Structure 1
């Protein structure tokens, strides 16, 4: 259970503490997939994109799923995130972490915005 708790805490820091914090928890060749217009980013591209790892005022994870196979941990969840001046952001997300000699590093992250039904 400690591994699962550790990875969920890291994931929350990713959302709440900004790019500098996220960079220390991310593998050098990591791949992130964000909604349009950002798209697919890898390695140093991740940190050049001003929309990546911005601080959020609050985040709530629901529909949480966790799996661990040997040195890989995978989180899947629905996020509801809020920051000042923006509407609440809701997405389905996955993050994959690799245990590299006792240090967990994010190797991938993906976000798919939740589409809400539009009234007819």
Structure 2
């Protein structure tokens, strides 16, 4: 697997696997910018937010873009995500990763809802 493949697989894990796994793969001091009401979350506040704790059953990424400069990589994409009893969630997203001694850690994540949200 290439770093590019690893990063996309890691990004999918953040959407679908448990919060404890995602927490372990997140850099200390990370920032998340999520739709209302979550807003801007920093470091441990990310993991105390109910919206972050809930995982998605399925996700589909499209319009993939990635750029890398040294030990930093930025992923940009559209997501369509589904979980029980919630309308399909569509958003434009970016995530920034830092390669810390061979381990990719997510440093930031941002979501902009794509279209009307209920």
Q: TM-score, normalising length from structure 1?
A: 0.93
Q: 8 Å contact 1:15–1:53 — kept in the other structure?
A: no
CA RMSD, 1 decimal? 1.0
Q: How does 1:1-120 map to 2 (within 5 A)?
A: 2-116=2-116
Q: 8 Å contact 1:64–1:76 — kept in the other structure?
A: yes
Give 5+ residue unaligned stretches, structure 2.
Answer: none
Q: 8 Å contact 1:22–1:53 — kept in the other structure?
A: no
Tell me by how many angstroms 1:53 deviates: 4.2
Q: 8 Å contact 1:16–1:58 — kept in the other structure?
A: yes
The structure that has the greater radius of gyration is 1
Tell me by how many angstroms 1:115 deviates: 1.5
Q: How many equivalent pairs are there?
A: 116
Q: 4+ residue stretches of structure 1 with deviation over 4 A?
A: none
Residues 48-98 of structure 1 show CA distances to partners (whole Å, capped at 9, x for unaligned) of 101114211100000000111000011000000000100000000000000
Give 5+ residue unaligned stretches, structure 1.
Answer: none
